Chain A
Amino acid sequence: GAVVSQHPSRVICKSGTSVKIECRSLDFQATTMFWYRQFPKQSLMLMATSNEGSKATYEQGVEKDKFLINHASLTLSTLTVTSAHPEDSSFYICSAVGTGYEQYFGPGTRLTVT
C-alpha cells in the first residue's frame, strides 16, 4: 500500500528557533498534501493544503508566515515552524492524497518547544 513518511518523528527545540518537518510519499506521487495539527485529546485540525508547485492554502486562524509550507516536488512537502513558542507544541501529521481521494497519513511528528 501507499506509504507516507515523516521526519523527524520527535523534535525538541528551544523557544524562538525554527523547526522543519518533512513529509514524503514513498511509492506514489501526490499533487496534494495536507498538514494537520493535533493537540492532546483533540481531533485533528487541518492547517493547510499543500499543492505541488504552488502556494499553500491556509485554514483560517493559521499564520502562513509562522508555518511555512513548501511542496517542491510530487513526493515531498515540508512544514517549517518559525520562531517556535511553547504553544506550538503539538503533534503534526501530514497526509498525501491518492487517486481516489484517499488520504495516506504519515506517522506524525511530536514537537515540543521548551
Chain B
Amino acid sequence: KQEVTQIPAALSVPEGENLVLNCSFTDSAIYNLQWFRQDPGKGLTSLLLIQSSQREQTSGRLNASLDKSSGRSTLYIAASQPGDSATYLCAVAGNTPLVFGKGTRLSVIA
C-alpha cells in the first residue's frame, strides 16, 4: 500500500528565502507525482506534474525533482513571497488513484 510522507509538517520563513519541501513515498511503481497548493478553505491548485520518466519540472520560481528509485521528491521555492503562504501537498499516482501526503503548511513572513 502506497504511503506518502511530507516533511516538515509546517514551515515559517522570512520573505526572500529559498526553501525546500520534501515528499517521500514507499512504492516506487508510480505513473507520476504532482505537487499541489491549497489555500485555506479552497480547492487544490496543481503546481507541477512530473511523469515517472522525468527527473524534474520547473515553473517560474518552482522546481520539483523526482528520484523514483529512492522514493523522494522535493519542491524548491525560490525567493519566497508572502503570497506563497499555503499548504503544499504532494501526491503520487500509481495503479490506484492519487495518494496524498498530509501536506506542509508554509508561512512566508513579510
Which residues of A line the B interface, CB within 8 A? 6, 34, 42-44, 46, 49, 91, 93, 95, 100-108, 110
Task: Taking A108-B42, A108-B44 as given, write out 10 further A-B residue pairs in contact, using a Cβ cutoff of 8 Å, ordered by the A residue number.
Answer: A34-B97, A44-B91, A46-B97, A93-B44, A95-B98, A100-B32, A100-B51, A101-B32, A101-B93, A110-B41
Interface of chain B residues 80 through 99 with chain A (CB within 8 A): 89, 91, 93, 97-98
Of the stretches B19-27, B66-74, B100-108, the one at the interface is: B100-108
Q: B101: nearest residue on chain A (CB-CB)?
A: A43
Is A6 within 8 A of B43, CB to CB? yes
Tell me which residues across on chain A come within 8 A of B44, comparing CB atoms.
Answer: 44, 93, 105, 108
Tell me which residues across on chain A come within 8 A of B31, comparing CB atoms.
Answer: 101
Tell me which residues across on chain B come within 8 A of A104, comparing CB atoms.
Answer: 46
Number of cross-chain contacts by CB at 8 Å? 49
A41 to chain B, nearest CB (A): 9
Tell me which residues across on chain B come within 8 A of A102, comparing CB atoms.
Answer: 32, 34, 46, 49
Q: A91: nearest residue on chain B (CB-CB)?
A: B41
B1 to chain A, nearest CB (A): 11
Can you offer 6 A-B residue contacts whose CB atoms are under 8 A?
A43-B100, A43-B101, A43-B102, A44-B98, A100-B32, A104-B46
Interface centre among A42, A93, A101, A102 (most CB of B within 10 A): A101
Q: A10: nearest residue on chain B (CB-CB)?
A: B41
A42 to B101, CA, bound (A): 9
Tell me which residues across on chain B come within 8 A of A93, comparing CB atoms.
Answer: 43-44
A101 to B34, CA, bound (A): 11
Q: Assuming A102-B32, A103-B34, is B43 touching A44 (CB within 8 A)?
A: no
Tell me which residues across on chain B come within 8 A of A100, comparing CB atoms.
Answer: 32, 49, 51
